[in-house]
Structure 1
Amino acid sequence: MAVARRPGAYVCGIDAAMDVIGGKWKVLILWALHERPCRFGELRRELPGVTEKVLASHLRELEADGVVHREEYDEVPPRVEYSLTPRGVSLNEALAPLGAWGRDHVLAPAREAASAPR
Structure 2
Amino acid sequence: MSDEDLLVIEKAKELAKHTLKVTSNANRYPKKFRFSLVDKMQNKSLEIYEMLFEANRTDIKYYKRDRLELQTKAITYCDELNFYIEMSYALGIINSASMGNWSRMVSDVKYMAIAWRTKDRKR
By percentage of residues, which structure has more helix?
2
Answer whether TM exceeds 0.5 for this pair. no
Structure of greater relative contact order (alpha carbons < 8 Å, 6+ residues apart): 2
- TM value normalised by structure 2: 0.31
- Decide which structure has greater strand share: 1
